[in-house]
Amino acid sequence: MHKKVAVILSGCGVYDGAEIHESVITLLRLDQRGAQVQCFAPNVPQLHVVDHYSGDEMDQQRNVLVEAARIARGNIKDVRELHVGEFDALIMPGGFGVAKNLSDFAISGVHCQVQADVQAAVQAFAKAGKPVGLICIAPALTAKLFGPGVTCTIGNDHDTAAAIAQMGAVHQECPVDEIVEDSTHKLVSTPAYMLAQSISQAAAGINKLVDRVLELTQQ
């Protein structure tokens, strides 16, 4: 039986949305493993828009759901339509959109709040005991999503790891091609572009994360 996996995106583009390489690697690996995938994103404005060529902020307004639809080739739904009973697992790729659009971590740090619809969706999976995969910067939200004591990784960035610990989660250092698993919470995380110097390095850890998340759906 094919597993059904929800993927939450945060826009389109590393600096103001979902990291495109991480998102595509995730979707590719899920497809290679025979999973049925549905992408979701919150129907909210982006924090800001960044010119990915110059790195400068642009005087534009964009919508997270509309931008994320670029990655999903239009096959995407409002995260409010994400019902945990219809899926076996959930995965969230990284990109600054996680810290800017799915939360305000980029601005508020340890005092951040997760976007309400995203928080409700992820916590529903946690409450149901269904596996969740968090990639790149997404594990920075772990304590807000799973509560204190949960274990995760963003690699080895000292400042981000310290923030994770201050919020109540346990950070475990991890190389780019490995994963960290909290078996109690069925949570899997990997550093991806928090450490990766190439798309193949990012893929090494993401592929392991996807494989492990799918394995956990059997338990």
Which among 12, 112, 136, 174 is annotated as catalytic?
Answer: 136
Rounded to whole angstroms, the Cα distance separating 219 from 20 reads 30
Domain boundaries, the chain: 4-135+197-216
**What global pTM score does this model have?**
0.97
Question: For residue 169, which of 193, 139, 207, 199 has the smallest C-alpha distance?
Answer: 139
Q: How confident is the model at residue 161 (pLDDT cuts 50, 70, 90)?
A: very high
**Model confidence at 73: pLDDT above 70:** yes
The helix, strand and coil proportions of the chain, stated in percent and rounded to the nearest 5, come to 40, 20, 40
Per-residue pLDDT, 1: 63
Q: How confident is the model at residue 129 (pLDDT cuts 50, 70, 90)?
A: very high
136 catalytic per annotation: yes
How many Cα atoms are found within 13 Å in the side-chain-facing hemisphere of 199? 8
Per CATH, the homologous superfamily of domain 4-135+197-216 is Class I glutamine amidotransferase (GATase) domain (3.40.50.880)
The CA R_g of the chain, rounded to the nearest whole Å, is 15
